[in-house]
Structure 1
């Protein structure tokens, strides 16, 4: 290849790179390449050059290029003869049979020492030539493959692009900041302006993890601006369930074993079922319908459940006390109690008392058989001691009262003697009063000490025997 040839060829490679811009999959049209009509050269050379042009078109990614074998099979099946099909009408007919949007056709020939390639792209819908280009080349015929074909394709594609007027798209969303895809390609986030869009139909997709995906078909027209405003629907709602029982178990759909409160759950909109369970409370089973984007907070109050206790106790005259309610024991009769822990107390005369914790579960029946232990003489002695204490206390009080009366009598005599002025009698009465006051003081103190000691002794004895 000469330097002059390289100089001529390289600009067309650059042009070919410029026109092979990335195009969305929805923008790509299907095109078929008819074999170039040979003029002054062999049919074999023309066919090789046609194949090269087909390959170059595939590499531009601007078209879906119909494969040659498929194209020939379809035309053969329809009884269509490719040879001699050079007119635009014939080319349009072939394109209709092939079901393509556009056809590339042309010729390759030699005039004197100059080779020429003529290419044109025809719109099958209206039969008009959408783009056309020629390329003249002086040199060896082999160079048509390496230089002529790329240059001719670059020229016709440049002409094709120049015939296209772009459209514009403005996209807004509520909320803003939503990712936008157009024709399968990510374009940015809203609000967004997209320029230089090739006319055609596109699928627009707005996506965000917290919102339902928005999709729409949009038609971009040449030279026009299209505006899209989308309001996205939240993909999630929020649910919070709390109860008055800290260790109640809350189940929401497939979420199991949440204790006391669910916290704020991020959950899909729609109908959701939940249940609340506890051994001591009536169970709850409900459902709620969440609106998209809604926040629902539920405060559920659990009601105490009931259970049954059947108690058989010995002796039969034992007294039962539960939850500070005392009653005569209904031996072997069912007793309805609220679910939970209860302190049960049994007592009877001459028996040691019993205190026991009982767990009543929801809608359960518990059977208890309890027997008190006989206290015997220890308890009898305590009661007798208590009786004696009361008697001794009364006796001590009577002695102290009698002593006080006697002391008062002698005090009166002493006072009379003092007032009479009889010195001998006064001295005698004073001596008697001194003796009586000492006895009175001694008796009173002794009776008080004796009474206090008896009360302390009996109290300690009762505690030792655990008598209630």
Structure 2
């Protein structure tokens, strides 16, 4: 049972909650205290490692940072002010830059850590700490700043814009500052209004005023060919309904599907787009495990919601199950301290019916020890189960969780044919795809075994663990 719980925990851990993280670059520590260069490099390496452990940050690799700056012939050693460091952040394509300043008076150290927003240039975090002792004390001081930095960004309410354009490769300006090339995800402070401009040589310029709420994620794509040089257009994203345009929200099941809408492709849902002109658009949703969805949708003024459930149709490819192999079945706990353990040949088949439901039939033929159920224990037995998955949850590309019901016939004597028990269970199943089409079906089933043979002693109540190989097709 502990093994099964561990497998479930690993499966849940492998499911990603979100792919939006703050892209940061660590620009090092300015030394005003005359530290040995080797000691300072060791302290910076420790700081980099500590920052990398913060899950909300996507820390730019040091090698990538050095090569990118070298490519632009930019040296951090020549920077004399924060404006120069912000310029480095723009060249590196990050959202925030982190840097420190250390001052020393004999064995007393003062450390200041600063974080600046690359888009706006605003100071978003600053902290000063002090300590005494050997230079190694700076590592402890930096650890304190990392902890405070994590608390600050966790409690803060940032916002994101994900900008794409047709054609792609447009230069993005926010508040007249160049921030990158489309497509691009941009980290901004929530609760503010920004001027956004896209420009591409040979195409039209696009300008918009975007009001971002705290914690909001805003997706929009721009067809630059709609906006000629002589026809620049400004759109208010804060209230699209006042412009006679539509606000579109597309949600998918499963949420990691690929969405194609208005000529642009996005990964994951929900997808939101503001200022969509009213009209008919093709919406396409695809997922490797399901049949693709393609439909014309009508966008009207105001709010438009388009939920797409791919699991409501039969999946494509490796979805049905062919169960064949050597399996184990064990009643972990039974009413009256009765337990049993069976093992043997497993035959079975599972078919997806749609709407997340899967019908399964399995037959296990083998032998085992049944504790106090019979005396002596049988040499051969059979266990036939018919089940229906009522809820199917995709945890990851290789893990599925099934919740359902099942009814069975358990015969303690294969020669007698007639069953001894009628199992009624509520299985919780984990499909673990190990390699290609092959995998393991792990099942934990609370069940009641209704006695239907007068030769056996009692009804049973317990929890059954099953481990069965399968192949999908």
Structure having the higher strand fraction is: 2
| TM-score between both structures, scaled by the size of structure 2 | 0.34
TM-score, scaled to structure 1: 0.34
Larger radius of gyration: 1
